[in-house]
Structure 1
Amino acid sequence: MISGTGTTATKSATVTVSVNVLPACTAGTTTSGTTSFGTLNFGTLYYLNKTIRLIGQPNAGAILVQCASGVNYQVVLSTGNSGNVAQRYMTGATSGQHVNYNLYTDANDSIVWNNTTGVTRPGTGQPEWIPVYGQLPAQSTPIVDTYTDTVQVTVSW
């Protein structure tokens, strides 16, 4: 039996591993290419003689935003049918009559959610649901109809 000592050669080198994280955000739920935040639905009402308040919930009027940590973002809401954030209204499908409402950034309905300053927050890297506070003020009850409005949500970062 012949035994010998063998020598082992080794060589070390490095491999650089990197990732470039961009300032990015996603918003809403996308189905078949359409992004939505759901419907802020005041329900079925018989009379509008008292103020009705509503808080948007996930997939039902709340706004879902996910931004990379450290990325500040802003959410603004358009005027809808009225052309005026201070006086939003829903329009009847067949009557053309209006039901007044507005959208707020706070539960006290003291800050109208507008199309210029809106809501600004820092991204955390996690999904964040931002509630939209809706209010139907007491008003004359219009004729029976289905009243709707479409408000554009814009998320900027």
Structure 2
Amino acid sequence: MLNLFKKAAVIAIVASAATLGAVGSQNAFAATSKTATFDVTLTVQDDCSIAANPLDFGSTGVLTQNIDQNAGLSVTCTKGTPYTVALDAGTATGSAISDRKMGNAAGDAFVSFNLYRDIARTQVWGNTADTDTVAGTGDGGAQTIPVYGRVPTQNTPAAGAYSSTITATVVF
């Protein structure tokens, strides 16, 4: 029994020493640390993007009355950035800002139309700054700008599909 008691005492002493050694080793091997700081920077520049929706005048027969439709542009500019939006004359042969045209596939027949800055369709939208463009200031989000279109009464060309591609430009 005495041997058993001695064995238990030896085990207890070894366990205590191991525990003290572990605690002591934590203190003896404590890590040293140092810190550094760094700056995070970004420069936001004046910038804009523009997107356009199609303007579809639909289908009709004889052009005996005005056909009015609306579309929209979306301009997104950095907050505080002044911008101007211009529209060109379009891609159909003979188009001008004052008299835009949609042409058929053969390019030998046309339908006149125009694009306006106001719902009354009195202010033609063109590409001369401070004259016939639309100005705004970016607010950091998308800003919708309406485009008012009109096909006026005119001699009706041959039946078919007529189109033009307008380029919208944002200048900032």
Q: Say whether 1:98 aligns with 2:110.
A: yes
Q: How far apart in 1 are the matches of 2:144 and 2:53?
A: 12
3-state SS in 1 of match to 2:98: helix
Shift of 1:18: 2.7
- Normalised by the size of structure 2, how large is the TM-score? 0.73
* Structure-2 residue corresponding to 1:25: 48
Question: What letter matches 2:159 in structure 1?
Answer: V
Task: Give the aligned residue type for 1:97.
Answer: A
Q: Distance in 1 between matches of 2:101 and 2:39?
A: 58
Distance 1:73 1:104 in 2: 18
TM-score (norm 1): 0.79
Q: Percent identity?
A: 34
Which has the greater radius of gyration? 2
Which amino acid in structure 1 is aligned with residue 61 of structure 2?
Y
Say if 1:94 and 1:145, in contact at 8 Å, map to a contact too.
Answer: no
Structure 1 alignment gaps of length 5 or more: 1-9, 29-36, 57-61
SS in 2 for 1:147: coil
Deviations 1:82-129 (Å, cap 9, x if unpaired)?
341001111122362111100001101111000112111000101112
Give the match for residue 155 of structure 1: 170
Give 1:39's match in structure 2, choosing from 46, 51, 54. Answer: 54
The alignment of Structure 1 onto Structure 2 pairs a total of residues equal to 143
Cα RMSD between the aligned structures? 2.4
Shift of 1:38: 3.3
Instruction: Indicate the residue corresponding to 1:16 in structure 2.
Output: 39
- Contact preservation (8 Å) 2:114, 2:150: yes
Gaps of 5+ in 2: 1-32
Match of 1:63 in 2: 73
Aligned counterparts of 2:37 and 2:55: Cα–Cα separation in 1: 55
Amino acid at match of 1:26: S
In structure 2, what is the Cα distance between the partners aligned to 1:108 and 1:86?
16
Q: Structure 2 counterpart of 1:71, which letter? A: T
1:53 counterpart SS class: strand
- 1:130 is the counterpart of 2:145: yes
Structure 1 or 2: more helix by fraction: 2
Shift of 1:17: 3.3
Q: Using the TM superposition, name which of 13-22 and 63-72 deviates more.
A: 13-22
Distance 1:40 1:69 in 2: 28
Q: Is the 8 A contact 1:95 1:145 kept in 2?
A: no
Distance 1:119 1:95 in 2: 31
Within the candidate set 97, 113, 121, 1:109 is matched to: 121
The reply on whether 1:89 has 2:101 as its aligned counterpart is: yes
C-alpha spacing 1:98/1:22, structure 2 compared with 1 (3 Å) = same
Instruction: Provide the rounded CA distance (Å) in 1 between the counterparts of 2:47 and 2:169.
Output: 14
CA contact under 8 A between 2:95 and 2:101: conserved in structure 1? Answer: no
